[in-house]
Chain A
């Protein structure tokens, strides 16, 4: 199953090695102070801003990914969806597409979808009340690099824990391989959704609806990126995008739909910075955190940072699955999970699980 025949080795972004060196150096640094260095929560008091605009906007060549959500971030509070904005997308040719808001707060093209071709340049414009006239920089759609296959392997893997210590764990690893990339420098971002089959172990025979469901999950807090340089016509193979430790979800069948986005360099840098900031460990080898600026700014108050990004790119997807028989390791069963004094309702009705559906997803 493993994709083992790369046409030619690709140059993958150096980030991985750097991360490795710094993380190991951090360990070495930590080991020198074994037991004496300490990391502990710390109270900081910083003035927070209020009513900051968050832009979550995507324009890909797939109708599901032509939506914009806008929020206000309140001081110490949750974000608030904005329904009353006037939003439009325009291209350099002078075409303009007004977006309309849907019930879930997404702004989508009024009719059909916007054609997103490589080389086209788009701009997002937002007007809210009198105080916000936000506009993105012009974003050029990159040459698409399509995903070829995705595959899953069950394996041991070493992981670095929160203290920077490497440990071993068992699980599955999701890999992707691309078709030959289209341009010299390509920037890729992956995301995925997964579905596993769930057989409620304590479901009554009388309720057939309760017994078997598909549980769909969206990724959270997931960023996987690659910068592929000087590689036109080559393929990226065996690229690991995620490792998931074994749990009961692998008890029957587990499928993933991997989505590969060819994004702009600016978007790549933006995500990379988020990653870098989130992985900080405070060691002397960490690059210092820095202010993150997206590609949207408010013309009325230009010094105020607008959070978020207007992401333009190309979309492709591939699926992969693994069944229990492919896995040599012992996996906890659904039944074991329900053998408690107080089993969850989902032990009796599969539909009670979050993300449950009776409709089999296409990729499952």
Chain B
């Protein structure tokens, strides 16, 4: 019998040559069948009653011939890959296994066959759970969203953020097919005999296929997953896109997703589904990031080299996340290569960076380390302005992770981030800010598919201005400090059912600002705002299950409490008057440890996915989120000196309720994915600044802010193509974000209490992101983005009052700046197409704002001496085409 192909354990098992006597004759007859039909037949000798063996009729079609031959023997058969036929007794596998014989010990296992499960238990299970981990073969990094399927069945799943998958299947013989974009697919013949594990590694296809992916989870998961409004982003693809000054920006790339926008170029925040920028929770390995930018917003805090994957939850936020009402951006940092050291260096016009990863203990512990250094000084030195030549803008950041398997079941991760930004203006002032973000986590796998993860995180942000101007010397500082511990317990048997519970406790300390004169002659007065303190606690539970093959349900809730803590002096105001310094009637001082106020509430979450046809589903969802800290700001963008404040006596927590419905349809075997999502969101206690509010170093900030009601709604359309030479997506979003601030007194209203557009309300947004593979080495990519201009207030009149020209502005946000559109392109070329090259080089040439549109960041009205009064001006931040070249060198 030919054994030219690797085979299943079971087949071998059946092919066992026992001690049967006088078998040659009937074996010859089986051989005739094999020869006639070009098949291999596997069986156990003792199953064959030699007396009943007949002469095979090879003139019949194969199946009939086999049927006729086997029927008298009380045997049936299964075919495998058309050429392999396995004979089985008519009785069930269970009956077979109920005998106490230990077949396993007698096995000869051929090359390449993968057995899943314990052979001794073969037959005791009709269904088995298989689970495993899919890793990058080069780096050992988990592959997220890889598709794992059993060929010929409808069973498939995809890997989670740890690269893990699991599903339940009937025991049997299969081909397991593992695919993910950018990697060579892997097909493994498997014998599933019981619960077991199969992990594998995939090789990337860097030089074979390039694709950009953004995913509503992976492939068909966007149809089957109950949750919606979720995008996982492949960082490798972000690097291929055109970028500003050549630095791939993971956070700015989010604004190409449906439902995500930003207020303008050079601003660091982003807005999700009509939410303010402080309503996004950015988690870096579980630790929150409070100011996510370098150089005032031109670059993201996060080094794209260090990012393994990021997931943006803009709806359908799982119960394990909370604290902000609009979105959660979960950034997972890279796990170092556990096999060998490798790294890369990159050079750009402003930013240079290096990255290295490798094993600390081979296959057990690894390190990944990234560093970026950026300086705009050399550009400034070439300017004509003396002040600018003496100015500087620099940043540096370090980011690292250590991962270690302490035991087979225990994994520990340490993750750290440190950054410093410094910009000096002339010789007068130095602005600097630092982020320090750390986390440590321990994951333990218990038997019975239970996992425990304990995570501790700390995040500190500090801002400082040092002014050295004569007579005005001072130092001003502010910051926010956060620490938390959380624990999650997950039960994931792999059959579509998943349960998760967890707890969290976190502590906030907000230094709202302190100004100290630094010389005796300084005219600045010392001022210090009171710190804000608070403790947030949360407990949550969630379930996901499939009551029917066409239905996936997910439900959960989070219960959070927030304690506003002392020390703090709180003012009370005359209730008949608008809050104002003159309306203060009393004050109460709390000491350290006092609980001043407590807010608490449930945050129910739920969603359902109904599969209405192959590759088509409808999803519905509801989310409630509560937020206890806010940025105090009246600028459109996040600034490095924005101060946070907590809920408390004068500010109620912000509560957001979001309802969503979506239709998801994939085409051509999930290669083309489309979706339409509608959402409606209501926000209670949304915080807005008063007209002409002065928020700077204001201790009783409640006099400058108002709370009211906000709502937003919209429709998001996405068409995405993941495979082929041309890949990318087109997304269009229509959405509105509206506010109503209607207090009892005139001073407590904005726009006389009528609903108005929020600062970041941009009804129409169109994004086209694409990459075309020109050859094995050359790629071309382009982005086009269009959005409605953001709302603003224009002067509707001007007049002279007491010799002063006064611009009379409209009510808030009654006008819009001109529409925004921009095209960026990039060519990238790789220096080699060898699969196992020791060194890989690549060049990226990109052109930002190809047609040099002077997109208005803002329209403003200035009264300059030389101008007619109140002349409108348009500020364009990047009003010319912006070329850049980046070089990347990768050591393998």
- Residues of chain A at the chain B interface (Cβ within 8 Å): 9-12, 14-15, 17-18, 20-21, 24-25, 27-29, 31-44, 46-49, 52, 54, 56, 58, 71, 73, 79, 158, 162, 165-167, 185, 218-223, 238, 265, 269, 272-274, 276-293, 303, 305, 307-309
Q: Is the pair B523, A238 in contact by a Cβ cutoff of 8 Å? A: yes
Chain B, Cβ-Cβ closest to A238 = B523
User: Of B101-109, B120-128, B334-342, B877-885, which stretch is located at the interface?
Assistant: B877-885
Q: Name the contact of B861 in the complex, choosing from A9, A12, A280 (C-beta under 8 A).
A: A280
Q: Is the pair B873, A39 in contact by a Cβ cutoff of 8 Å? A: yes
**How many angstroms from the CA of A288 to the CA of B793 in the assembled complex?**
8
Q: Which of chain A's residues have a CB closer than 8 A to the CB of B872?
A: 41-44
Q: Is the pair A265, B809 in contact by a Cβ cutoff of 8 Å? A: no
**How many angstroms from the CA of A281 to the CA of B863 in the assembled complex?**
10
Question: What is the 8 Å Cβ interface bit string for chain B, positions 626-637, against chain A (1 contact, 0 not)?
Answer: 000000001111
Q: Is the pair A28, B796 in contact by a Cβ cutoff of 8 Å? A: no
8 closest A-B pairs (Cβ-Cβ)?
Answer: A282-B860, A290-B691, A42-B874, A18-B696, A282-B875, A282-B858, A284-B637, A273-B692
Q: Is the pair B425, A31 in contact by a Cβ cutoff of 8 Å? A: yes
Q: Is the pair B637, A308 in contact by a Cβ cutoff of 8 Å? A: no
Q: Is the pair B759, A284 in contact by a Cβ cutoff of 8 Å? A: no
A-B contact pairs, 15 of them (CB 8 A): A20-B467, A20-B469, A24-B428, A25-B639, A31-B383, A32-B266, A32-B393, A41-B872, A44-B859, A166-B426, A221-B805, A277-B807, A281-B862, A284-B858, A287-B693
Q: Is the pair A274, B804 in contact by a Cβ cutoff of 8 Å? A: yes
Is B176 close to A, CB under 8 A? no
Q: Name the contact of A12 in the complex, choosing from B426, B474, B523, B874 (C-beta under 8 A).
A: B523
Q: Is the pair B873, A47 in contact by a Cβ cutoff of 8 Å? A: no
Q: Which of chain A's residues have a CB closer than 8 A to the CB of B861?
A: 277, 280, 289
Q: Is the pair B793, A290 in contact by a Cβ cutoff of 8 Å? A: yes
User: Of B71-79, B294-302, B493-501, which stretch is located at the interface?
Assistant: B294-302
**How many angstroms from the CA of A199 to the CA of B807 in the assembled complex?**
39
**How many angstroms from the CA of A74 to the CA of B429 in the assembled complex?**
45
**How many angstroms from the CA of A36 to the CA of B379 in the assembled complex?**
12
Q: Which of chain A's residues have a CB closer than 8 A to the CB of B523?
A: 12, 238
Is B436 close to A, CB under 8 A? no
**How many angstroms from the CA of A269 to the CA of B428 in the assembled complex?**
29
Q: Which of chain B's residues have a CB closer than 8 A to the CB of A29?
A: 266, 296
Q: Is the pair B796, A40 in contact by a Cβ cutoff of 8 Å? A: no
Q: A29-B296, A221-B803, A288-B759 are in contact. Are A42 and B859 (CB under 8 A)?
A: yes
Q: Name the contact of B882 in the complex, choosing from A20, A36, A285 (C-beta under 8 A).
A: A36
Q: Name the contact of B582 in the complex, choosing from A37, A162, A265 (C-beta under 8 A).
A: A265
Q: Is the pair A37, B296 in contact by a Cβ cutoff of 8 Å? A: no
**How many angstroms from the CA of A288 to the CA of B758 in the assembled complex?**
12
Q: A21-B641, A34-B388, A272-B692 are in contact. Are A220 and B803 (CB under 8 A)?
A: yes
Q: Is the pair B879, A56 in contact by a Cβ cutoff of 8 Å? A: no
Q: Name the contact of A38 in the complex, choosing from B696, B801, B876 (C-beta under 8 A).
A: B876
**B contacts with A, residue count (CB < 8 A):** 97
Q: Is the pair A46, B795 in contact by a Cβ cutoff of 8 Å? A: yes
Q: Name the contact of B876 in the complex, choosing from A37, A52, A220, A292 (C-beta under 8 A).
A: A37
Q: Known pairs A73-B799, A282-B857; list 15 more (Cβ under 8 Å).
A: A15-B696, A18-B696, A21-B476, A31-B423, A32-B295, A33-B878, A36-B878, A40-B874, A47-B796, A265-B582, A279-B862, A282-B858, A282-B873, A282-B874, A288-B792
Is B718 close to A, CB under 8 A? no
Is B797 close to A, CB under 8 A? yes
Nearest Cβ on chain A to B300's Cβ, whole angstroms: 15
Q: A32-B296, A281-B860, A284-B637 are in contact. Are A18 and B694 (CB under 8 A)?
A: yes
**How many angstroms from the CA of A220 to the CA of B803 in the assembled complex?**
5
Q: Name the contact of B809 in the complex, choosing from A42, A284, A291 (C-beta under 8 A).
A: A291
Q: Is the pair A282, B859 in contact by a Cβ cutoff of 8 Å? A: yes
**How many angstroms from the CA of A256 to the CA of B73 in the assembled complex?**
123
Q: Name the contact of B873 in the complex, choosing from A11, A42, A307 (C-beta under 8 A).
A: A42
Q: Which of chain A's residues have a CB closer than 8 A to the CB of B797?
A: 48-49, 52, 73, 307
Q: Is the pair A223, B525 in contact by a Cβ cutoff of 8 Å? A: no
Q: Is the pair A289, B860 in contact by a Cβ cutoff of 8 Å? A: yes
Chain B, Cβ-Cβ closest to A78 = B800
Q: Name the contact of B854 in the complex, choosing from A32, A33, A40, A279 (C-beta under 8 A).
A: A40
Q: Which of chain A's residues have a CB closer than 8 A to the CB of B380?
A: 31, 34
Q: Is the pair A165, B385 in contact by a Cβ cutoff of 8 Å? A: yes
**How many angstroms from the CA of A319 to the CA of B694 in the assembled complex?**
33
Question: What is the 8 Å Cβ interface bit string for chain B, positions 679-696, against chain A (1 contact, 0 not)?
Answer: 000000000010111111
Q: Which of chain A's residues have a CB closer than 8 A to the CB of B697?
A: 14, 17-18
Q: A25-B431, A289-B861 are in contact. Are A15 and B808 (CB under 8 A)?
A: no
**How many angstroms from the CA of A146 to the CA of B210 in the assembled complex?**
76
Q: Is the pair B801, A56 in contact by a Cβ cutoff of 8 Å? A: yes
Q: Is the pair B857, A284 in contact by a Cβ cutoff of 8 Å? A: yes
Nearest Cβ on chain A to B691's Cβ, whole angstroms: 4
Q: Is the pair A307, B806 in contact by a Cβ cutoff of 8 Å? A: yes
**How many angstroms from the CA of A207 to the CA of B698 in the assembled complex?**
62
Q: Name the contact of A280 in the complex, choosing from B582, B811, B860 (C-beta under 8 A).
A: B860
**How many angstroms from the CA of A274 to the CA of B692 in the assembled complex?**
9
Q: Which of chain A's residues have a CB closer than 8 A to the CB of B803?
A: 218-222
Q: Which of chain B's residues have a CB closer than 8 A to the CB of A42?
A: 856, 859, 872-874
**How many angstroms from the CA of A286 to the CA of B692 in the assembled complex?**
11
Is B794 close to A, CB under 8 A? yes
Nearest Cβ on chain A to B369's Cβ, whole angstroms: 28
**How many angstroms from the CA of A73 to the CA of B863 in the assembled complex?**
19
Chain B residues 192 to 214 lying within 8 A of chain A, measured CB to CB, are none
**How many angstroms from the CA of A306 to the CA of B266 in the assembled complex?**
38
Q: Which of chain B's residues have a CB closer than 8 A to the CB of A79?
A: 799-800
Q: Is the pair A222, B807 in contact by a Cβ cutoff of 8 Å? A: no
Q: Which of chain A's residues have a CB closer than 8 A to the CB of B692?
A: 269, 272-273, 276-277, 287, 290, 292
Q: Is the pair B802, A56 in contact by a Cβ cutoff of 8 Å? A: yes
**How many angstroms from the CA of A37 to the CA of B428 in the assembled complex?**
23
Q: Is the pair A20, B792 in contact by a Cβ cutoff of 8 Å? A: no
Q: Which of chain B's residues have a CB closer than 8 A to the CB of A39?
A: 873-876
Q: Is the pair B806, A274 in contact by a Cβ cutoff of 8 Å? A: yes
**How many angstroms from the CA of A167 to the CA of B385 in the assembled complex?**
9
Is B815 close to A, CB under 8 A? yes
Q: Is the pair B266, A290 in contact by a Cβ cutoff of 8 Å? A: no
Q: Is the pair A10, B696 in contact by a Cβ cutoff of 8 Å? A: no
* Highest count of chain B CB atoms <10 Å: which of A33, A43, A238, A284: A284
Q: Is the pair B877, A37 in contact by a Cβ cutoff of 8 Å? A: yes
**How many angstroms from the CA of A35 to the CA of B383 in the assembled complex?**
8
Q: Which of chain B's residues have a CB closer than 8 A to the CB of A307?
A: 797, 799, 801, 806, 808
Q: A42-B859, A284-B636 are in contact. Are A292 and B806 (CB under 8 A)?
A: yes
Q: A25-B296, A49-B796, A289-B809 are in contact. Are A17 and B635 (CB under 8 A)?
A: no
Q: Is the pair B266, A289 in contact by a Cβ cutoff of 8 Å? A: no
Nearest Cβ on chain A to B547's Cβ, whole angstroms: 50
Q: Which of chain A's residues have a CB closer than 8 A to the CB of B425?
A: 24, 27-28, 31, 166
**How many angstroms from the CA of A291 to the CA of B637 in the assembled complex?**
20
Is B509 close to A, CB under 8 A? no
Q: A32-B298, A36-B878 are in contact. Are A41 and B387 (CB under 8 A)?
A: no
Nearest Cβ on chain B to A10's Cβ, whole angstroms: 7
Q: Is the pair A44, B794 in contact by a Cβ cutoff of 8 Å? A: yes
**How many angstroms from the CA of A10 to the CA of B526 in the assembled complex?**
10
Nearest Cβ on chain B to A256's Cβ, whole angstroms: 16
Is B812 close to A, CB under 8 A? yes
**How many angstroms from the CA of A17 to the CA of B523 in the assembled complex?**
11
Chain B, Cβ-Cβ closest to A303 = B752
Q: Is the pair B794, A46 in contact by a Cβ cutoff of 8 Å? A: yes
Q: Is the pair A287, B796 in contact by a Cβ cutoff of 8 Å? A: no
Q: Is the pair B795, A278 in contact by a Cβ cutoff of 8 Å? A: no
**How many angstroms from the CA of A43 to the CA of B804 in the assembled complex?**
23
Q: A42-B874, A305-B808 are in contact. Are A11 and B639 (CB under 8 A)?
A: no
Is B57 close to A, CB under 8 A? no
Q: Is the pair B873, A28 in contact by a Cβ cutoff of 8 Å? A: no
Nearest Cβ on chain B to A177's Cβ, whole angstroms: 13
Nearest Cβ on chain B to A103's Cβ, whole angstroms: 20
Nearest Cβ on chain B to A337's Cβ, whole angstroms: 20
